[in-house]
Structure 1
Amino acid sequence: MKLLVLCLLFGAVLALTRADPSEDKPKNEKVADPESVDETEQTDETEETELSEETEETELSEAEDEDGAGRAKRCVCRARRWCKYSGRRYVYFPYRYHWSQAQRYCLRFGASLASIHNSRDNHFLRLLAQKRLAWIGLFDAANERYWLWVNSGRYNYANWCRGQPNNYRRSEHCVFINWSSKKCWNDYRCSVRLPFICMKK
């Protein structure tokens, strides 16, 4: 009888150790706390495992998705994967980085902060970021009111919020999307930590 009780206790302890929820978590699903991310604290190994190089290859036809909305929703569901849209690949990172840190993070993957050249791309990225604030690659730090894309793309489209860009206190040189209920663009201090969108061909 004692032997049976001991066997049952041993089995229960073994089952409890196997049921540890921390062991069920995939190793590459590590997500940093958005409020405390510091680029210098992350290792190269962590960065590479956080982003899958697998790309969603299936393109939606214009008939299925006239404004890019369906494609973006599909990408949001598959976190940290490159999402192919209009000949480029995009990924949204929820980590909060300064604008320059975000650009350096994108460069690690042969990418840059995203550029936007028409209303369809703007709508797509708005949804890809889940309608949350996100840095894009537009800045005027080199020359006030002379806006440039970090990837040298032509500045031929904008979706500024009313009264923007205003360079408040002469310190706003970087741009984020999804500001206010209008989900438009705003210039802001580059030192503020925000999520961001990377883009590559």
Structure 2
Amino acid sequence: HANYKILSKADYHVDFRGGDFPESHLVHTIQLRVGEKVDKTTATMAKAFGLEYVLPGTPEIGHTSPGTMIHTLCTSGVASIISESGLGYRTQPLEEFVEDHIRGTINLLKHFGMMHGDPVMPAKQNYLDMEWCGVPAPEAGVFTALADYGDILKEEQVIGRITDIDGSLISEVKSPIDGVVHTMYPARLVFPGDNLYTLLKVDGPTGW
């Protein structure tokens, strides 16, 4: 593969992502843990990139599974992380999300001594738990989201409403956990079982 031939010669690699088309997505980095020496470097990269959340990953999770670029590089000894910043459902990216990727890249260049200065870090940075919590639609109807990416939730908090076409309430959507909104799926018409949210628990400070 042409890309691999180039990237395999690198010391560091970042996969910039902006969210898939049906997603309103949390801003965070992803670090793959493969049980190799490279894990220490990727852990540092995921934190030094400077986003508010870091999601550890293992090969069993889709976005870091065998065959993905991050997995191929990490198992070949090249330190690779993913940066997630962007709302995939928007036809035009917002500047703030592009800036996250740019600022993070500059942070890495500074951390590894390729630029002068100190990385610009958030006031706090936390790990995310790796146990995904999906919130399906309980009924069919018109979905209105009351929570979006990055919102901190309490268990049983109302995070959405499903209504009839006249606006009458069919069902409330409640958070099953204390956690953060990783993904809100901005669909209007939903059916029972459709994904409305993916939530994650916050797993404590990274120590950066």
Give the greater-gyration-radius structure (CA).
Answer: 1
Instruction: State the TM-score, normalizing by the size of structure 1.
Output: 0.28
Instruction: State the TM-score, normalizing by the size of structure 2.
Output: 0.28
Determine which structure has the larger strand proportion and give its number.
2
Determine which structure has the larger helix proportion and give its number.
1
